[in-house]
Amino acid sequence: MVSRKSTPLDDFSLKNHRCSVDLRLKKLGMVPFFADLSEPELIEVNNAFSAAHYTVDQTIYYQDDSATMLRVVVHGAVKLVHQTLEGKEVLLDMLKPGEYFGNLSALDDTYSETARTQTDVCILTIRMRDFRSLLDQYSSIAIAVLDVTSRRLQSLQQKIQQLTTLPVKKRIAHILVTLGNKFGEKHPRGLLIQLPLSRKDLADMAGTSAETASRVMSQFQEDDLITSGRQWVAINDKPKLLRISSED
């Protein structure tokens, strides 16, 4: 009765490979706070970063570690999670190339979350100290950083609102739409979320249990809104999912 399907995920997106200098520059230019820089300036900034590679499911840093580095995703996906004492996890964000992570607060020098790779990744790292001198050097960067941070703040506010006012089904519908917009790629099976994504990942994003997430996903599949298999999801009817997430 249950019929799951083998993965349609693109291997190139998941597997590790070297970050070419070209790719580095391109992704650095995508980071909003470097967007205003000229090409020579960008090259100088690029030289302040060094590249690092991780394989899937590695922890880049742990919550409460001393925060010395700022990082930018170049290739692959990184998830930020909060861990509780009892081992429960809350998935705060899933980052794609061009997004930064780390801690920008000058006073608190520990990471407030754990960063773990969702695929093989290539990231750029810079010491906080060096980043701060970039901030001094290019004042446009500080303002852009502030902007990015304010937006993250807003998206967390929205997340809190959904956690406290919406039932699980609507929360998951919303999460699927958001992931579709961010990681979606056209594919014969639908809008494929180009990312290994387990029921537990979804549950940790929605603030529910893996079993409940599975039940909701089964229902969505029943209603032909999505197609899903082990560690992957494709969206068939985004408008209807969006309606589910906000109706009533």
Q: Which residues of the shown chain bind DNA in the complex (CB under 7 A)?
A: 1-7, 167-169, 197-200, 207-212, 214-215, 217-218, 221, 228-231
Angle at 60 between CA 131 and CA 52, to 5 degrees: 65
Q: Choosing among DNA, a copy of itself, none, which partner's interface includes residue 228 (Cβ < 5 to 8 Å by kind)?
A: DNA
* Residues 21, 245 contacting (CB under 8 angstroms): no
Task: Indicate whether 160 belongs to the interface with a copy of itself (CB under 8 A).
Answer: yes
Task: Indicate whether 159 belongs to the interface with a copy of itself (CB under 8 A).
Answer: yes
Closest to DNA by CB, 49 vs 232, is 232
Task: Indicate whether 154 belongs to the interface with a copy of itself (CB under 8 A).
Answer: yes
Decide: residue 18, CB within 10 A, 0-12 exposed, 13-18 middle, 19+ buried.
Answer: exposed
* Residues 24, 74 contacting (CB under 8 angstroms): yes
Task: Indicate whether 142 belongs to the interface with a copy of itself (CB under 8 A).
Answer: yes
CB of residue 10 to DNA, shortest distance in Å: 13
Identify the residue among 5, 15, 17, 152 touching a copy of itself (CB under 8 A): 152
Cα(217)–Cα(163) distance, rounded to whole angstroms? 18
Task: Indicate whether 21 belongs to the interface with a copy of itself (CB under 8 A).
Answer: no
Closest to a copy of itself by CB, 108 vs 223, is 108
Site for a copy of itself in 111-140 (CB under 8 A): 112-113, 132, 135-136, 139
Identify the residue among 55, 105, 133, 219 touching a copy of itself (CB under 8 A): 105
Cα(185)–Cα(178) distance, rounded to whole angstroms? 13
- Mark the segment that binds a copy of itself (CB under 8 A) among 37-45, 101-109, 174-182, 234-242: 101-109
Question: E strands within 140-231?
Answer: 184-187, 190-193, 226-229
Cα(33)–Cα(140) distance, rounded to whole angstroms? 8
Q: Choosing among DNA, a copy of itself, none, which partner's interface includes residue 165 (Cβ < 5 to 8 Å by kind)?
A: a copy of itself
Q: Phi and psi for 153 in degrees, rounded to 5?
A: -60, -45
Residue 150 host element (H or E)? helix 139-165
* Residues 47, 122 contacting (CB under 8 angstroms): no
Task: Indicate whether 153 belongs to the interface with a copy of itself (CB under 8 A).
Answer: yes
Nearest to 58 by CA among 139, 146, 121: 121
Contact residues for a copy of itself (CB under 8 A)? 82, 84-86, 88, 90, 92, 103-108, 112-113, 132, 135-136, 139, 142-143, 145-147, 149-154, 156-161, 163-165, 207, 246, 248
